[in-house]
Amino acid sequence: MAEPILRVVGLNKEFKLRKSKFREPHKILHAVNQVNLELYKGETLGIIGESGCGKSTLGRCLVRLHQATSGQILLHGQDINELTGKDLKGLRREIQMIFQDPYSSLNPRKTAGETIEEPMIVHGHLSKPERKARVRSLMNEVGLSESHIHRFPHEFSGGQRQRINIARALALDPEILVCDEPVSALDVSVQAQVLNLLNSLQKQHELTMIFISHDLSVIKHVSDRIAIMYLGRVVEQCNAEEIYTDARHPYTKALLSAIPPESPFEKNSQIKLTGEIPSPIGEQIGCPFASRCPYVMEKCRRVTPKLTEVAKDHLVACYLYDSQSARESGS
Ligand code: SF4
pLDDT for residue 268:
66
What is the Cα–Cα distance from 331 to 329, expressed in whole angstroms? 5
- Which helix (H) or strand (E) segment is 72 a member of? strand 70-75
Total-model pTM:
0.91
Q: Write the pLDDT tens digit of every residue in 57-113.
A: 999 999 999 999 999 999 998 999 999 888 888 888 899 999 988 888 899 999 999
Mutate to test the pocket of ligand 1, among 274, 291, 300, 328 (most ligand atoms within 8 A of CB): 300
Q: In angstroms, what CA-CA distances link 189 with 158, 180, 184, 312? A: 12, 19, 12, 37
pLDDT for residue 323:
65
- Ligand 1 atom with the smallest distance to the CA of 305 is 5
3-class state of residue 161 by DSSP: helix
- Ligand 1 atom with the smallest distance to the CA of 287 is 4
List, run by run, the mean pLDDT of 10-residue segments along the chain (331 residues): 90 87 80 96 95 94 95 94 89 92 89 96 90 96 94 94 96 96 90 94 95 90 95 95 93 88 70 81 90 94 94 95 60 45
- Ligand 1 atom with the smallest distance to the CA of 250 is 6
What is the Cα–Cα distance from 244 to 241, expressed in whole angstroms? 6
CB-based burial, 296-326: b 16+ in 10 Å, e otherwise: bbebbeeeebebeebeeebbbbbbbbbeebe
**Would the CB of 293 count as within 6 Å of ligand 1?**
yes
What is the Cα–Cα distance from 211 to 213, expressed in whole angstroms? 7
Mutate to test the pocket of ligand 1, among 234, 285, 319 (most ligand atoms within 8 A of CB): 319
pLDDT for residue 331:
45
HSE (CB half, 13 Å, CA atoms) of 320? 17
How far apart are the CA of 299 and the centre of ligand 1, in A? 9
Q: Of 160, 200, 194, nearest to 179 (Cα)?
A: 194
How far apart are the CA of 319 and the centre of ligand 1, in A? 6
Looking at every residue in the chain, the average pLDDT score rounds to 90
Q: Write the pLDDT tens digit of every residue in 125-159.
A: 799 999 999 999 999 999 999 899 999 999 999 99
Query: Beta partners for 228?
Result: 48, 236
